[in-house]
Amino acid sequence: MSKRGLPALVAFGLALFMLAAEMVVPVERASAAPVDLGPDGYFSTLGAGALPVASGNWASTRRIVFGKQGNTGTYGGATVSGGYKTLAKGAVASVPDANAFSQYGNQAYLKSATTSVAANEALLWADNTVTAAFRFDTNATYSNSFDSATGSYQSNLAQVSDAVGAANYSSFEQSLLRAAPVEGVCTAAQPVGCGSGSYTQQSDSENAYRVFPLSVGDLNGFVGTTSGWVSADANLACPSNTCANGVSGSWLRSAYWDNVPYTFGLRNDGYPGRYNSNYTAFGLRPAVRLGLDGLLLSADSGDQGQNTSGDLRLTYVESGRQLDSWSASVVGAVGSRALSLSGSSDLGSDMGWKIVDPVTSTVLGSGRTSAGGNMALPEAAMTSATKDYDLYVWGQEDGSAAVGLTNRATEPVKMTIRGWQVRTPPAYGIDVTGVTSGGLRAYRIGDYADMVFDHTGALRSVKLETPAGLVSALLAAAGVAGGVGVDAGNPIGWVGSHWLGYPTSPLSDDVTSAFSPYAG
């Protein structure tokens, strides 16, 4: 090909590229009603009735940061880890006679009911104690009654549970926790207690609790513990067998049904046992029932990405909150594409996002625009060139350790990223420089016809025809590239005959290819 023919051909190709190539992945807004929150990325992967700890172990269960950390504004000025793990996703009915000491046989005085978990609700349990040590009962004549209608009594444990619920979480987080009675407790009058020797004395609590200690039956029902009084259970232990705030373990809410002054507790090494209700070395390791109805995203606590390990932080939609304005686009080259996102709402200018595979209901990637947030698209997970992926964006206010770690969000806007091609195509010896986005796409711009071969079988000539429907587009592109006198009926044939030089034998300066275009 001559030096004169090459620039014209390149110009023709670039003209086609600018006319047809998609430089930015298009997005379009979907219907606004009803509000679609999509899968959250963690709880949406758990089936109803799932028991994550029992199916694996405490160490491998994802930790969720929730509530306040440090000691500012927390109950009693205690240092709080803020970490919780999922014991169950509802619906899970209460079992009346779970036994965490089953190696001793079917002893009625060792059993209790488990905590019920409602549909689309999760039971979370702190990974450490969150208070200093205190007595189960502070009365001079102590007993194992948790609360009672008689004299509107609440044990010290019940009162601390209420106080922790009011102090250790933001008002928004408190609205996410269901306040309801808890199962498996003694509700006899305080001096009387429960001591006739059977779990059949148990009742649901007289009061509703957002925050509460587990029952002894929960150790069996949700973690599978059967070795009380015999050996420690690592799934129940404080981290490194060292509980926060200098306590040696945590209280359980169930009475030891065979003796009025006794209840159950859990040592720092995960060893369940019986303890006097005036014991002074245990604190509260709270459990909560977390509603999942408004949950928009579960993501890495650091950058709000979809990492497979590390702590999770939750983002919930706050009722009535909406985006005022927003825009979204894709920037960068293949392999390093990112989402460019901006907007405003009454939660501020920060935003969050997630990309969902609508077929598998899987969150492929997520992030936020605030400092340190992930904005890289999950290209490696978006493997289809033709699939439509769902993109959700929302206004977001990040939680904090001082206020409460849960993020608040507006109702999301749902869009579609169409025809995403993330697999790197073969190079074919073609290099494109001077662009930072887009890609190469092949288009059919001509048809072969009237092939002529000589007596040896070599191709002597071939006709190049312009496909119907492309005549005007190719004629315009050839004109933009500098073509003069282009065949209006067959512009691609004119391009082939004028700009696709073919070496002749003997060699000549022929650059019009009139002798045999495309004969090679």
* Coil, helix or strand at residue 299: strand
In CATH, the number for domain 27-39+315-417 is: 2.60.40
* Dist. CA 342–CA 394, nearest whole Å: 10
Domain boundaries, the chain: 5-21+441-499, 27-39+315-417, 43-290
pTM of the predicted protein model: 0.76
Say if residue 46 is exposed, middle or buried (CB neighbours under 10 Å; 0-12, 13-18, 19+).
middle
Q: In the structure, what pLDDT confidence band is assigned to residue 457 with cuts at 50, 70 and 90?
A: low
pLDDT recorded at residue 136: 98
Q: Which of 7, 235, 254 is nearest to 114 (CA)?
A: 254
Q: Which of 10, 124, 33 is nearest to 412 (CA)?
A: 33
pLDDT recorded at residue 503: 53
pLDDT recorded at residue 6: 43
pLDDT recorded at residue 341: 93
pLDDT recorded at residue 249: 97
Mean pLDDT of 127-152: 96
pLDDT at 461 over 80: no
Mean pLDDT of the chain, nearest integer: 86
pLDDT recorded at residue 520: 36
* Coil, helix or strand at residue 477: helix
Q: Which range has the worst mean pLDDT, 160-174, 218-232, 254-268, 434-448?
A: 434-448
pLDDT recorded at residue 416: 85
More confident residue, 306 or 13: 306
pLDDT recorded at residue 333: 82
pLDDT recorded at residue 264: 98
Pairing of strands 83-89, 272-276: unpaired
Q: Which range has the worst mean pLDDT, 174-183, 275-284, 461-470?
A: 461-470
Pairing of strands 413-417, 27-29: antiparallel
CB burial of 463-492 (b: ≥16 within 10 Å; e: otherwise) equals bbebeeebbebbbebbeebebeebbeebbb
pLDDT recorded at residue 220: 96
More confident residue, 239 or 1: 239
The tens digit of pLDDT for each residue in 9-68 reads: 444 554 443 333 232 333 433 334 568 999 999 999 999 999 999 767 898 899 999 999
State both tokens at 128.
Answer: 């450490």
Mean pLDDT of 271-276: 96
Q: In the structure, what pLDDT confidence band is assigned to residue 145 with cuts at 50, 70 and 90?
A: very high
Q: Please list, in sequence order, all residues whose beta carbon lies within 8 angstroms of the beta carbon of residue 298, skipping any fewer than 6 positions away.
A: 40, 41, 42, 43, 64, 312, 313, 314, 315
pLDDT at 429 over 90: no
Tell me the sheet residues that pair with 342.
Answer: 327
pLDDT at 484 over 50: yes
Query: What is the full DSSP assignment across 412-475?
Result: PEEEEE-S---SPPP-TT----S-SS---------EEEEEEE-TTS-EEEEEEEPPTT-HHHHH
Q: In the structure, what pLDDT confidence band is assigned to residue 317 with cuts at 50, 70 and 90?
A: very high
State both tokens at 416.
Answer: 């579609």
pLDDT at 91 over 50: yes
| C-beta neighbour count of 297 within 10 angstroms | 31
Mean pLDDT of 233-243: 93
pLDDT recorded at residue 509: 52
The tens digit of pLDDT for each residue in 93-112 reads: 999 999 999 988 899 999 99
Say if residue 345 is exposed, middle or buried (CB neighbours under 10 Å; 0-12, 13-18, 19+).
buried
**What backbone phi and psi angles, to 5 degrees, belong to 373?**
-80, 150
Q: Which range has the worst mean pLDDT, 359-373, 410-424, 497-511?
A: 497-511
pLDDT at 433 over 70: no
Mean pLDDT of 116-121: 97
Pairing of strands 312-317, 407-409: parallel
